[in-house]
Structure 1
Amino acid sequence: MAAEEPAGMRTVQRAIDILGLFDEQRPALSIREIVTDTGLPKTTVLRLLQTLRLNGLLWVDEHGRYAAGPALLRWARLAEHTWQLPGAALRVLRGLAAQHMETVHVYVRRDVHRVCIAQEEGPRSLRQVVRVGDELPLWAGGVAKALLLDAPDALLVRVAERSPYGAAHVATLRRWVGEAHHDGFAVSHGEREEGLSSVAVPVRGRGGAVVAALSFGGPTSRFTAERVRAFAAALGTAAKELEGVLPEVR
């Protein structure tokens, strides 16, 4: 039997879970909504909300709803400073987007998720929209395959368990990672969302470990076999330029 999670750790995780409920679609939430979404007793939610409010992480608006607090502004500036790409790297992204007319993204892995830390939108009106800071799953997509290239098998199992396909999906993940190793890049067509495709390559740090993934994303109709090969070659060259430049925060 697994050891019971310490009470202090459980409290911290619950507070983080509450903060995770807020996004651009739901910037303010009522106590009832928070209780419903977390499944926690109302007394527990009230206690956590009070602590978060006293520390400035949450704020109560004129309607009595909770919203992001002012203390998060300092953390947001700190995160932006840590993850902002240097000018040379941003020029690489702009060059890729301009030459190949597709949106370019840089992702890093956070446990069983991937987080977009930079993007340069392509010039075409029909394009993939992923904002900096967006968090997506790792169970599918070209970016996920690139980020999982040197992942331990235990991580692949956890990713599979979080997927819509369950634990059996680990066999597919292993196959995808093997193909990406062989090809040097990863491709996906409609794996996570129908009609969207991506091509991704790993970006490695000074020690050789995968620290990020560089990708093109866009409508599947534009990701023909010929363009996929061109995308992969361009991304591979660009990834070499980014090696040792991206943050290696693990």
Structure 2
Amino acid sequence: MTSFGEGVFVSAATADDRSTGKDTAGEAAGVRSVQRAMDILSLLTEDRPVVTIRDITDGTGLAKTTVIRLVQTLEQTGLLWATSGGYLAGPALWRWAHLARTSWEMPPEMTRAMRDLSARHRETVNLYGTRDLTRICLAQQESPQALRHVVRVGDELPLWGGASAKVLLRDADESRLRRIVRSSPEGAERLARLRSEIAEASARGFAVSHGEREAGLSAVAVAIEGRSGGVVAALTLSGPTVRFSEPQVDAFAQDLIGVARRLSERGFDHPLGA
């Protein structure tokens, strides 16, 4: 996919070069370098806070000479920091992280609502937003129970399944739905059923899923609306299917609907709701 995209870009740019004289070959190389740098930074995780040159070459598939050149640039800009054991996140990222935190942190009302929901029902509460073909975990309040569903804040999950996907896609057009189902295990055959599930969730005011993405995992989700009335986020309760009987699902849904309505009426003061 990446090679195809770059090929189309270079081909189209070649025609433009003849009329504008722009050095788009250099631009393409620059874009590639930025993507490679991002690939290197993405190897850093909570479980692996330090990476070596060998980790980077194995993780990206890039030549060692290319990796060394990129790492040196990232180190010079403060995005990586060299230690005796390898490279860790540099101090420049701390400034960006602080900016991201202040820009994207949840409003106090949302944090309290999620905490209270989890306390009442003893299940994990998540808030999801969308980015193109995926949904992103924006916030989480973990269940206090030993057996619980947990994803990390910032994790990206597919939109072809799951309760939150069905409410997040309420206003999605046909083109986007077709692109989403291509990555599903069922492929294009998932499209008709996904359309039906989205319509059902819209009519009921909530969505339910049982084992769609992971066996034994269930969830109930409702939409949070922005100032324009469109869906900007999904508020969910999720956990083991054995604890999501039909009466329990109904209780979860009614509580979620009430909370989401209050949050939507107050205004979702967040970049997603802008």
Scaled by the length of structure 2, the TM-score of the pair is 0.82
* Distance across 1 between alignment mates of 2:239 and 2:258: 20
* Distance across 1 between alignment mates of 2:33 and 2:182: 24
Alignment of 1:199 onto 2:220: yes
Distance change (3 Å), C-alpha of 1:47 and 1:164? farther
**The residue matched to 2:238 in structure 1 has which SS?**
strand
Largest Rg, 1 or 2? 2
1:82-131 per-position Cα deviation (integer Å, ceiling 9, x unaligned): 12222222222222122222121111112222222222223323221223
Distance change (3 Å), C-alpha of 1:120 and 1:29? same
- Residue 22 (structure 1) aligned to one of 39, 44, 68: 44
Q: How is 1:141-156 mapped onto 2 (pairs within 5 angstroms)? A: 141-156=162-177
The answer to whether the 8 Å contact 1:205/1:248 transfers is no
**The residue matched to 1:15 in structure 2 has which SS?**
helix
Equivalent position of 2:33 in the other structure: 11
* Distance across 1 between alignment mates of 2:29 and 2:187: 29
Equivalent position of 2:88 in the other structure: 67
* Distance across 2 between alignment mates of 1:150 and 1:170: 15
Whichever residue aligns with residue 93 of structure 2, its letter is: L
TM-aligned CA deviation for residue 246 of structure 1: 4.1
Alignment of 1:116 onto 2:137: yes
The answer to whether the 8 Å contact 1:211/1:248 transfers is no
Distance change (3 Å), C-alpha of 1:173 and 1:15? farther
Alignment of 1:248 onto 2:260: no
The answer to whether the 8 Å contact 1:211/1:246 transfers is no
* Distance across 2 between alignment mates of 1:236 and 1:172: 24
Equivalent position of 1:176 in the other structure: 197
Equivalent pairs counted in the alignment come to 249
**The residue matched to 1:21 in structure 2 has which SS?**
coil
Distance change (3 Å), C-alpha of 1:227 and 1:206? same
**The residue matched to 2:208 in structure 1 has which SS?**
strand
**The residue matched to 1:234 in structure 2 has which SS?**
helix
Q: How is 1:81-120 mapped onto 2 (pairs within 5 angstroms)? A: 81-120=102-141
**Structure 2, unaligned stretches of length 5 or more?**
11-27
* Distance across 2 between alignment mates of 1:164 and 1:223: 24
Alignment of 1:48 onto 2:70: yes
**The residue matched to 1:136 in structure 2 has which SS?**
strand
Question: RMSD value over aligned CA atoms?
Answer: 2.2
Normalized per residue, the structure richer in helix is 2
Whichever residue aligns with residue 134 of structure 1, its letter is: D
Distance change (3 Å), C-alpha of 1:246 and 1:137? farther
* Distance across 2 between alignment mates of 1:172 and 1:11: 41
* Distance across 2 between alignment mates of 1:17 and 1:111: 19
Equivalent position of 1:31 in the other structure: 53
TM-aligned CA deviation for residue 165 of structure 1: 4.1
Distance change (3 Å), C-alpha of 1:170 and 1:52? farther
TM-aligned CA deviation for residue 216 of structure 1: 0.1
**Structure 1, unaligned stretches of length 5 or more?**
none
> Among the aligned pairs, what percent are the same residue?
53
**The residue matched to 2:9 in structure 1 has which SS?**
coil
Whichever residue aligns with residue 75 of structure 1, its letter is: W
TM-aligned CA deviation for residue 12 of structure 1: 1.8
* Distance across 1 between alignment mates of 2:65 and 2:185: 33
* Distance across 1 between alignment mates of 2:251 and 2:56: 47
TM-aligned CA deviation for residue 164 of structure 1: 4.1
